[in-house]
Amino acid sequence: MRRFSLYFLLLLTLPLAGCSPFSSVAVLNPKGEQAKEQVDLITLSISLMALVFLVVLILFIRFVYKYRQRPGYTPDPIHQNRNKKFELIWTISPFIILFILAVPMIQTTFGEEQESKSPSDLTVKVTASHYWWRFEYPGQGIETAEELHLPKGKKVTLVLHSTDVIHSFWVPQLGGKLDVIPGRTNKLSLTPLENGTYQGKCAELCGKSHANMRFKVKVENEDDFNSWIAGLKSGNQTQSLSKSEAEGKSLFNENCLTCHAVEAQVENKKGPNLAGFAERERVAGILPNTKEHLEDWMKDPQKFKPGSEMPKVKGLDKKEYEKLAEYLQTLH
C-alpha cells in the first residue's frame, strides 16, 4: 500500500512537470501586455479562491470540534437561535466575491477583443493547416511560415483562419489562446513588450501531429523588423549560387515549386513559403535547421510529422538531396 502511494505521488508530478521552467512553453512568464493582464487575472482568482478555501477550512475544523460526539452532549436539531447577522454575511459575501472577479474579467476580455483602430498598428493574417502556420502581412505585402516576426511595443491584430479543422493559436508569454475555426474569423490582439523568441503551439487536439504544430514568435526592435521585411522583399535573388547550389535550385524548381514559394511576395501556395528559410531556427517548425535534418525531412516527412500533407521528395539520390538542402540554406 505504501509503495502504491509512492508511485501515485510520483505519477502526480508528471502533470506538474508541464509547468516547469525546463519545458519549452513558458506559461506564467508574461512578456506582452495581454499576457500580463491574463496572469494578473489568474493571480486574482487564485487568491480569492484560496481565501474562500481558508475560511471554509477554519469553520469546518471549528464545527467538527465544537459539535463532536461526547458524553453528556446531545445535538439540538431545531435551530432556535438564528443569527441574522451571520446569515446576511454568508449570503452577501459570495456576491461581493463574484463582483470582484467579474469586473476585471469582463473588462480585460472585451478590451483584448477590441480590434486596433490606429493605422500605424500591424495586422497579420494567420492561417492554420495540418500541421503548420502561415503568416501573411497584407500591409507589407509578404508572407512567411512557422516563424512570426513582430515589432516590439506595437499592437498587432492577428486575424485567424483555419483551412481544415479546429486549431488553437497559443503563445502563452504574449497572450492567448484563441480557437482557429474553419469558416470563421477570430481576432486576437497582442502587444509584445520585450525582445526575444517565444514558443507558440497549437492548443487544440487537431490530429496525429497536433503536438508537432509548433511555431515561434520573434519580437524585435521596429528597425530590425523593418529590415527583416525589406530583406525578404529584396531577397535571395541577388545572391550568386555555387554550382551545386544552382543544381539544387533546379531540383527545387522541378520537385517543390508547385507547393512552395521562395519569394515572400508570392502568397497562398499550398505549402509553407520558404523565403528566408535559412534564417529559420527549425525545419517544419520542429527539427533544428541543419542540412542533415533538412535531408531527413525531405526523405520522409511522415516520420517526423505523421499526417503531414508534405509528400516524400522521391526519386533523388543522396547527392541530389544534399544539393537541394544546400540550395534551401541559401534562402536568406
Q: Report yes or no: 284 and 310 within 8 Å, Cβ to Cβ.
A: yes
Shortest distance (Å) from residue 322 CB to ligand CUA: 32
Shortest distance (Å) from residue 298 CB to ligand CUA: 22
Of 162 and 173, the one with the shorter C-beta distance to ligand CUA is: 162
> Alpha carbon of 130 to those of 137, 162, 214, 287: distances in Å?
21, 9, 11, 17
Of the candidates 86, 70, 132, 111, the residue with the CA atom closest to the CA atom of residue 310: 132
Q: Does 160 bind ligand CUA (CB under 6 A)?
A: no
Measured at the alpha carbon of residue 192, what is the angle toward residues 276 and 223, in degrees to the nearest 5?
50
Shortest distance (Å) from residue 180 CB to ligand CUA: 8
Q: Which of the residues 196 through 235 are near ligand CUA (CB under 6 A)?
A: 202, 204-206, 210, 213
Longest dimension (CA), the chain: 101
Shortest distance (Å) from residue 168 CB to ligand CUA: 7
List 149's β-bridge partners, or say none.
218
Of 204 and 245, the one with the shorter C-beta distance to ligand CUA is: 204
Measured at the alpha carbon of residue 304, what is the angle toward residues 299 and 308, in degrees to the nearest 5?
85
Site string for ligand CUA, 118-157 (x = CB under 6 A): ----------x--x--------------------------
Q: At what angle do helices 84-113 and 33-66 cross, to 10 degrees?
A: 160
Of 92 and 205, the one with the shorter C-beta distance to ligand CUA is: 205
Q: Report yes or no: 247 and 328 within 8 Å, Cβ to Cβ.
A: no
Q: Does 167 bind ligand CUA (CB under 6 A)?
A: yes
Shortest distance (Å) from residue 147 CB to ligand CUA: 17
- Residues of this chain that interact with ligand CUA (CB under 6 A) are 128, 131, 167, 202, 204-206, 210, 213
